[in-house]
A and B are shown apart, each in its own frame.
Chain A
């Protein structure tokens, strides 16, 4: 009997589901970062607002990268439903703590996908997600470094203004 399933898609059903779940995670991250950007802007943290807006755009690009991959391999990418996006945050510091937690969660999800790729012997998808795993090193590094500035600079006096000013300068280099 002809194998209609593989004629239609090269993606295993479970891997396709995991990738679609990841699309949702990326879209959720993008929406959270946008909410953080708005909050920072509202509180007068201009540079942080710009940083989160940029992060939001990057997460959306990640989402679209996954979206395209699923469709390119014959699967069906699903446009995700996003809800539970906070509009308010406890403090300037808590925004960045939440951002780091979000990045760590994303890394964990990609690790799970990599694990499943090995189990299913889907090395094509494994190769594809290498880029995301690499990207997560930078994402976590930057989020952690920013958070450390709260201790290094301190929040008293003009501390928060100083931290905000330094946020765009935090960058990662693998070299």
Chain B
């Protein structure tokens, strides 16, 4: 759970979860499948890459039982994600949206900095 000093701002939300930014701790919180997990910035980006690299097509084709679930255990986190194919697609959608909003925020900030103020 977030610490009492956490200053959470919503980055992106879907009906399956949400990503928040804590500007006090400089980290992201992933709220997914009923639990919240904190990620450092680099870890969050790495986690997204890991989720993106899963070959969904081969999971669909594979009829063996182990292909029903994908297990992800991110470093520096006590969370273990056991994802069904549905969960995986929902998580991807959430992380894609969050990544886009993070990048958009960055672009807006840099545009505001480079635009001379009109007194």
Task: Say if the beta carbon of B28 comes within 8 Å of chain A.
Answer: yes
Q: Is the CB of A7 within 8 A of B23?
A: no
Task: Say if the beta carbon of B42 comes within 8 Å of chain A.
Answer: yes
Shortest Cβ gap from B6 to chain A (Å): 13
Q: How far is the CA of A1 from the CA of B112 in the complex (A)?
A: 13
Contact with A along B84-113 (1 / 0, CB 8 A): 000000000000000000110110011000
Which residues from A are CB-within-8-Å of B46? 76
Asked if A1 meets B41 with Cβ closer than 8 Å, knowing A6-B109, A7-B26, the reply is no
Shortest Cβ gap from B81 to chain A (Å): 22
Q: Is the CB of A4 within 8 A of B26?
A: yes
Shortest Cβ gap from A131 to chain B (Å): 27
Q: Is the CB of A1 within 8 A of B110?
A: no
Shortest Cβ gap from B69 to chain A (Å): 27
Task: Say if the beta carbon of B68 comes within 8 Å of chain A.
Answer: no
Q: Is the CB of B105 within 8 A of A3?
A: yes
Task: Say if the beta carbon of B9 comes within 8 Å of chain A.
Answer: yes
Which residues from A are CB-within-8-Å of B26? 2, 4, 7
**Interface residue count on the A side (C-beta < 8 Å):** 11
Q: How far is the CA of A113 from the CA of B24 in the complex (A)?
A: 36
State which of B9, B23, B27, B41 has its C-beta within 8 Å of the C-beta of A5: B41
Which residues from B are CB-within-8-Å of A13? 45
Q: How far is the CA of A88 from the CA of B9 in the complex (A)?
A: 59
Q: How far is the CA of A3 from the CA of B21 in the complex (A)?
A: 10
Which chain B residue lies CB-closest to A74?
Answer: B42
Shortest Cβ gap from B53 to chain A (Å): 13
Which residues from B are CB-within-8-Å of A3? 105-106, 109-110
Contact with A along B1-21 (1 / 0, CB 8 A): 000000001010000000001
Shortest Cβ gap from B49 to chain A (Å): 10
Q: Is the CB of B21 within 8 A of A5?
A: no
Which residues from B are CB-within-8-Å of A6? 106, 109-110
Which residues from B are CB-within-8-Å of A4? 21, 23, 26-28, 41, 102
Residues of B bordering A, CB below 8 Å: 9, 11, 21, 23, 26-28, 41-42, 45-46, 102-103, 105-106, 109-110
> What are 12 contact pairs spanning A and B, CB under 8 A?
A1-B105, A2-B21, A2-B23, A2-B26, A3-B109, A4-B21, A4-B23, A5-B41, A5-B102, A5-B103, A8-B41, A9-B42
